[in-house]
Amino acid sequence: MTIELVTKTDMENWVRNNLVPMIQEATRITQSGEQGVYDTDALCRKLHVSKRTLQNWRDDGLIEFSQIGHKIYYTEKAVNQMLEKSKVKSSNSNYRGSYQ
């Protein structure tokens, strides 16, 4: 049996050369209809909420997420499902104005 040691530098190089490009590809929103993936910062910007709000939503089970290491990712599908579940119907059926 052979024991191989991986140094910190080897691991950092592997992450930089292999894992980072895979994550970047996964988080890229494409025009071809592929599902988008957001990291925490991107989703905060998209929804105009704080990181703590996303943390609360995760803690409360309101939004599905994946975690790779310390990084958290959300699929576009999970975001849309959370928004649909949280939808509140208007109680004023007589309103005839327009939203701007």
> In this predicted model, what pLDDT tens digit does every residue of 16-49 receive, in sequence order?
888 777 776 666 654 445 568 899 999 999 899 9
User: Domain range holding 73?
Assistant: 20-26+34-84
Residue 15 domain-assigned?
A: no
Residue 50 domain-assigned?
A: yes
Which CATH number does the domain housing residue 50 bear?
A: 1.10.10
Tell me what percent of the residues of the chain surpass a pLDDT of 70: 77
Number of domains in the chain: 1
pTM, entire model: 0.58
Residue 66 domain-assigned?
A: yes
Helix, strand, coil percentages (3-state) for the chain, rounded to 5, are: 45, 10, 40
Q: Rounded mean pLDDT of 50-68?
A: 94
pLDDT-derived band at 96, boundaries 50, 70, 90: low
